[in-house]
Amino acid sequence: MKTRPFIRWFMRFWVLVLKMHLVFIVCTSLSLVAYRWIEPPVTGIMVYRLFNYDWKLKKREHIALEKVPKKVRSMIIRVEDGSFYEHRGIILAAMKNAARVNRELGSPVYGGSTITMQTARTLFLAPVKSYIRKYLEVIIALEMEVILGKDRIFELYLNNAEWGKGVFGIEAASRHYYGKSVTKLTTNQSIRLVTLLSSPILYTPDTIQKSPILRSRYAYLVKRF
User: By the 8 A CB rule, do 211 and 199 touch?
Assistant: yes
Q: Are strands 167-168 and 162-164 parallel, antiparallel or unpaired?
A: antiparallel
Distance between CA atoms of 43 and 168, rounded to whole angstroms?
10
Same domain, 149 and 50: yes
Q: What is the pTM of this model?
A: 0.87
Same domain, 109 and 207: yes
Instruction: Output the CA angle 62-174-219, nearest 5 degrees.
Output: 125
Interval 77-111: pLDDT, tens: 988 888 899 888 887 655 554 444 445 435 443 44
Same domain, 76 and 165: yes
Asked whether residue 115 is assigned to any structural domain, the reply reads: yes
What average pLDDT does range 4-33 have in this prediction? 86
Backbone angles phi, psi at 116, to 5 degrees: -60, -45
Asked whether residue 39 is assigned to any structural domain, the reply reads: no
Domain that holds residue 1: 1-34
What average pLDDT does range 5-28 have in this prediction? 84
Asked whether residue 129 is assigned to any structural domain, the reply reads: yes
Distances (CA, A) of 135 to 30, 75, 131, 142, 201: 19, 28, 6, 11, 25
Same domain, 112 and 140: yes
Same domain, 19 and 78: no
Same domain, 100 and 189: yes
Residue 130 above 90 pLDDT?
Answer: no
What average pLDDT does range 182-211 have in this prediction? 95
Same domain, 149 and 194: yes
What torsion do the CA atoms of 207, 209, 212, 215 make, to the nearest 10 degrees? 120
Q: What pLDDT is recorded for position 3?
A: 54
Taking the alpha carbons of 84, 90, 92, 98 in that order, is the dihedral positive or negative?
positive
Q: What pLDDT is recorded for position 96?
A: 52
Interval 135-165: pLDDT, tens: 999 999 999 999 999 999 999 999 999 999 9
Mean pLDDT across the chain? 87
Asked whether residue 164 is assigned to any structural domain, the reply reads: yes
Asked whether residue 220 is assigned to any structural domain, the reply reads: yes
State the first-to-last Cα distance of the chain, in angstroms, to the nearest integer: 73
Same domain, 124 and 169: yes
Same domain, 97 and 205: yes
Work out how many domains the chain is built from and give that number.
2
DSSP secondary structure letter of residue 204: -
Lowest mean pLDDT of 124-128, 143-147, 188-192, name the range: 124-128
CATH number at residue 144: 1.10.3810.10
Same domain, 198 and 93: yes
Q: What pLDDT is recorded for position 7?
A: 77
